Amino acid sequence: MTVTCFIRYEIDPFRKEAFVDYARNWGQAIPRCGADLIGYFTPHEGSATTAYGVYNIDSLAAYETYRARLAADPLGKENYEFARREKFILREDRIFLKLASAPHAGRSAT
C-alpha cells in the first residue's frame, strides 16, 4: 500500500528564495534516498507563507528506512542544517494519506 506524505510548511514570506533552494536540494536527495518525490510547492497566489512538499512511499515501515537514509545522505544533512541555520521555516506539519479515488476515470475525447 503506497502512502503519500504531505508536508505543510509555514515559511517566512521574505525568505521564499531560501525555501526554493531548500526544495531544490530535496529534489536531488529525496529520490536518491528511496521516496517518489511528487514535488515541492511554494506560494504563488493567495497565502505568502504556505508551502508544501509531497512524496509517495511504499509503507510507513519503508518511511522509517527512508528517513534514516535521508539523515545520513550528505546533501540531506546539509539541507537540514541549512534550514536550521537560516530559519526560513517557521512551522512544519506532516501527514500521511492514502489515495481513495483510484482508479480515476479517463478523459473522453471531445
Q: Looking at the domain assignment, is residue 107 inside a domain?
A: no
Q: What is the pLDDT of residue 6?
A: 98
Q: Looking at the domain assignment, is residue 105 inside a domain?
A: no
Question: What is the secondary structure of the chain as a DSSP string?
Answer: --EEEEEEEEE-GGGHHHHHHHHHHHHHHHHHHT-EEEEEE---SS-SSEEEEEEEES-HHHHHHHHHHHHHSHHHHHHHHHHHHH--EEEEEEEEE---SPSPPPPPP-
Q: What is the pLDDT of residue 103?
A: 84
Question: Total structural domains in the chain?
Answer: 1
Which of 48, 45, 28, 39 shows the shortest CA–CA distance to 90? 48
Q: What is the mean pLDDT of the chain?
A: 94
Per-residue model confidence as pLDDT tens digits over 58-96: 999 999 999 999 999 999 999 999 999 999 999 999 999
> pLDDT category, 104, cuts 50, 70, 90?
confident
Q: What is the pLDDT of residue 107?
A: 62
Cβ atoms of 51 and 9 closer than 8 Å: yes
Cell 510547492 found at: 41
Q: The domain containing residue 45 runs over which residues? A: 3-97
CATH number for the domain that contains residue 92: 3.30.70.100
Q: Looking at the domain assignment, is residue 9 inside a domain?
A: yes
pLDDT higher than 60, residue 109: no
Cell 545522505 found at: 73
Cβ atoms of 104 and 29 closer than 8 Å: no
> pLDDT category, 1, cuts 50, 70, 90?
confident
pTM beyond 0.75, yes or no: yes
